[in-house]
């Protein structure tokens, strides 16, 4: 069964995350990609509302949005992409290795970055920050030319798997430094974006390309 594909060219992050949760409840194969319309900090299901970086974000006037998946905080900038893949739990494309299958489930993201920046691969997260998820100690991140451009997290329900993440089109290190603290002062230099690597596609066009790539990488179920 092919996935149903949804693209939103301009979305509030909270609305996009609600769409991901709705697709997870429905449980059928799906791909969703949205362009973030304003800077927003998302945070994982185990993060308390009183986390210092959430308080700093609110003091900056940055809205916050909870994720149903794990991990800590992420600053999504205007024009960045958020994406999701949903598969029924019984679907062979989930596989027994899904917890570690970031490269396989996120192959469409890898393809889009390679088209813009030539090289990209999912690698273990660097463990440089306890607050900022892409710099954290757990999971995998998408790296290109030594810079981290994407990260992902998962939510496994009784009936389906949600594998979703973010792709940075632009990066605001000054704002990141005000909201999140890193254990290594140079950690923010590990973060990158498509525009810094020479990408010049508009976010809306990238969103459509990413949806096509995610769907193609999944392929039909066996």
List, for residues 125-166, the tens digit of each pLDDT value: 999 999 999 999 999 999 999 999 999 999 999 999 999 999
Q: Is the pLDDT of residue 167 over 60?
A: yes
d(C-alpha 55, C-alpha 50), whole Å? 7
Q: Are strands 4-11 and 30-36 parallel, antiparallel or unpaired?
A: parallel
Q: Is the pLDDT of residue 222 over 60?
A: no
Q: Is the pLDDT of residue 180 over 80?
A: yes
List, for residues 4-51, the tens digit of each pLDDT value: 999 998 889 999 999 999 999 999 999 999 999 999 999 999 999 999
- Ramachandran assignment for 139, one of left (phi > 0), alpha (psi -120 to 50 degrees), beta (any other): left
Q: What is the pLDDT of residue 4?
A: 92
List, for residues 105-116, the tens digit of each pLDDT value: 999 999 999 998
Q: What is the pLDDT of residue 198?
A: 86
List, for residues 186-209, the tens digit of each pLDDT value: 899 999 999 999 878 899 999 999
**pTM for the full predicted model:** 0.94
């Amino acid at each position: 069964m092919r996935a149903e594909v949804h693209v939103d060219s301009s979305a509030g992050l909270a609305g996009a995350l609600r769409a991901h949760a709705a697709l997870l409840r429905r449980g059928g194969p799906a791909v969703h990609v949205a362009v973030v319309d304003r800077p927003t900090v998302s945070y994982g299901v185990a993060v308390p509302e009183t986390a210092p970086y959430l308080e700093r974000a609110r003091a900056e006037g940055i809205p916050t949005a909870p994720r149903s998946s794990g991990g800590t905080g992420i600053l999504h900038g205007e024009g960045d992409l958020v994406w999701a893949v949903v598969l029924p739990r019984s679907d062979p494309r989930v596989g027994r290795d899904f917890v570690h299958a970031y490269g396989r489930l996120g192959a469409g993201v890898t393809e889009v970055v390679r088209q813009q920046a030539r090289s990209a691969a999912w690698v273990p997260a660097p463990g440089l920050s306890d607050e900022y998820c892409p710099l954290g100690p757990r999971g995998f991140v998408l790296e290109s030319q030594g810079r981290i451009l994407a990260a992902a997290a998962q939510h496994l329900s009784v009936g389906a798997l949600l594998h979703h993440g973010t792709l940075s089109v632009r990066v605001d290190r000054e704002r990141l430094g005000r909201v999140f603290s890193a254990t290594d002062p140079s950690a923010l230099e590990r973060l990158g974006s498509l525009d810094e690597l020479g990408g010049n596609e508009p976010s809306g066009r990238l969103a459509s390309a990413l949806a096509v790539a995610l769907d193609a990488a999944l392929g039909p179920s066996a």
